């Protein structure tokens, strides 16, 4: 359904520049837009495409407005405004209430009449599915699961015993919530399994990407706060606590019993060791390794960026003698009477 630009301006508090009667009915990138499209400009990298865009309208900020050759919605936060308009243009697919004939819903499961249980899904006795929730094809809800109102399991999501998922959560295919944490007690060169008797509690408005895993707690629950956004293939160990509105990019791993604060940003492939505390508002850049608690907000890194392999190997060889190199420098300082601040 096409949307009028003036109505969008009012609804999202933007300044309208240009023709209020413009209709947009889909989104497009600046460079590929055609009439009827809404584009946006948020990343300066793409500003070069603005002058020649064929979009019917562009969402952008005040600094770019003068350069826009077509109608515009001038917003403080163009990306968020674009996101909200795109949500209007592309609403989640509607679904009927009820259950597919191939689904298995055990007696003793409590499924709200407004929820949908999809093809080949399984809902065990003792699980409950809230109003308007969507259980996609092939999903598995074991006993004691509580799936919140309007939560959506796209397909093939597994929720293990007792897992609670809040309202409006969105879990993508292959997600596994509540598998056993990795509790293995060493004894005489072998391991004794430590029963994992906690579960997982996920707040409201959480998104979890494809094939991500969040383990159940050893004793207490693993806890994911409201509004946390987790990308694909992230691993969160048992008894982690992730503060509200933290984002975690793909392939990051957080070992057991670590607490991450609120509004943190964990980069892709970052690894955080277990039993740590990460403060609020911490940013960890991609592929970094965190082995100690971080008490102060700020941005932290440890992943060297690539260089040509030949040169890298020379440098890496020197790294392996870096302690020695520092000692040599200290000796030199002694020899020439310089005062280094080596603290060894």
Query: Of residues 114-133, which lie at the interface with a second copy (CB under 8 A)?
Result: 118-120, 122
Q: Which of 6, 112, 220, 277 binds a second copy (CB under 8 A)?
A: 220
Cα-based torsion angle of the residue sequence 57, 61, 64, 69 in order, rounded to the nearest 10 degrees = 10
Alpha helix (H) ranges present in 62-205? 62-65, 78-89
Question: Long-range contacts: 55-60, Cβ < 8 Å, 24+?
Answer: 55/28, 55/30, 56/5, 56/22, 56/23, 56/24, 57/5, 57/18, 57/22, 57/24, 58/30, 59/14, 59/85
User: Please, what is the angle between helix 322-336 and helix 309-319, to 10°?
Assistant: 70
Rg (CA), the chain: 26
Q: Which one of 100, 172, 238, 245 is the catalytic residue? A: 238
Q: Which is nearer to a second copy, 119 or 131 (CB)?
A: 119
Residue 60 belongs to what H/E stretch? Answer: strand 57-60
CB atoms within 10 A of CB 325: 11
Q: Is 279 in the site for a second copy (CB under 8 A)?
A: no
Q: Is 185 in the site for a second copy (CB under 8 A)?
A: yes
Q: Is 86 in the site for a second copy (CB under 8 A)?
A: yes
Active site (annotated) includes residue 172: no
Measured distance CA(319)–CA(343) in Å, rounded: 19
Smallest distance from a second copy to CB 27, Å:
6
Q: Is 287 in the site for a second copy (CB under 8 A)?
A: yes
Backbone angles phi, psi at 111, to 5 degrees: -115, 120
Q: Which is nearer to a second copy, 1 or 66 (CB)?
A: 1
Q: Which is nearer to a second copy, 19 or 323 (CB)?
A: 323
Q: Which of 23, 259, 268, 293 binds a second copy (CB under 8 A)?
A: 268
Q: Which of 25, 48, 219, 295 binds a second copy (CB under 8 A)?
A: 219
Write out the binding residues for a second copy, residues 141-180 only, by CB under 8 A: 142, 154-156, 158, 160, 170, 172-174, 176, 179-180
Measured distance CA(341)–CA(26) in Å, rounded: 62
CB atoms within 10 A of CB 252: 25
Q: Which is nearer to a second copy, 20 or 293 (CB)?
A: 293
Q: Is 335 in the site for a second copy (CB under 8 A)?
A: yes
Q: Is 295 in the site for a second copy (CB under 8 A)?
A: no
Q: Which is nearer to a second copy, 113 or 186 (CB)?
A: 186
Write out the binding residues for a second copy, residues 234-263 only, by CB under 8 A: 235, 237, 245, 247, 249-251, 253, 255, 263
Binding piece for a second copy, criterion CB under 8 A, among 15-23, 65-73, 108-116, 227-235: 227-235
Q: Is 3 in the site for a second copy (CB under 8 A)?
A: no
Output the six-digit token pair for 170: 């969105």
- Tell me the CA distances in angstroms from 320 to 148, 251, 308, 315, 323, one per residue in order: 52, 28, 18, 9, 8
Q: Is 1 in the site for a second copy (CB under 8 A)?
A: no
Q: Is 277 in the site for a second copy (CB under 8 A)?
A: no
Write out the binding residues for a second copy, residues 300-329 only, by CB under 8 A: 300-326, 328-329
Q: Which residues are catalytic?
A: 238
């Amino acid at each position: 359904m096409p949307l009028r630009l003036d109505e969008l301006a009012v609804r999202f508090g933007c300044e309208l520049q240009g023709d209020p009667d413009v209709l947009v009915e889909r989104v497009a990138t600046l460079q590929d837009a055609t009439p009827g499209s809404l584009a946006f400009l948020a990343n300066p990298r793409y500003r070069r495409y603005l002058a020649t865009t064929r979009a019917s309208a562009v969402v952008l900020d005040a600094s770019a407005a003068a350069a826009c050759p077509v109608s515009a919605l001038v917003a403080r936060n163009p990306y968020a405004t674009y996101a909200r308009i795109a949500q209007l243009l592309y609403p989640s697919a509607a679904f009927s209430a009820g259950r597919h004939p191939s689904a298995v819903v055990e007696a003793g499961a409590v499924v709200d009449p407004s929820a949908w249980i999809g093809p080949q899904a399984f809902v065990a006795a003792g699980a409950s599915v809230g109003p308007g929730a969507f259980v996609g094809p092939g999903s598995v809800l074991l006993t004691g699961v509580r799936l919140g109102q309007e939560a959506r399991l796209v397909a093939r999501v597994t929720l293990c015993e007792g897992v609670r998922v809040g309202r409006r959560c969105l879990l993508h295919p292959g997600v596994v919530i509540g598998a056993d944490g990795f509790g293995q007690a060493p004894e005489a060169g072998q391991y004794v399994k430590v029963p994992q008797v906690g579960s997982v509690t996920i707040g409201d408005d959480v998104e979890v990407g494809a094939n991500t895993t969040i383990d159940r707690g050893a004793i207490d629950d693993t806890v994911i706060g409201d509004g946390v956004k987790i990308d694909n293939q992230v691993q969160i160990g048992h008894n982690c606590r992730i503060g509200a509105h933290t984002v975690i990019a793909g392939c990051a791993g957080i070992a057991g019993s670590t607490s991450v604060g609120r509004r943190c940003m964990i980069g892709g492939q970052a690894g955080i060791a277990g039993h740590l505390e990460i403060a609020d508002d911490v940013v960890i850049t991609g592929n970094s390794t965190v082995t100690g608690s971080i008490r102060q907000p700020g941005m932290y890194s440890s992943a060297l960026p690539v260089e040509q392999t030949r040169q890298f190997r020379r440098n890496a060889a020197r790294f392996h003698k870096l302690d020695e190199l520092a000692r040599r420098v200290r000796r030199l300082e002694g020899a020439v009477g310089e005062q280094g601040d080596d603290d060894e």
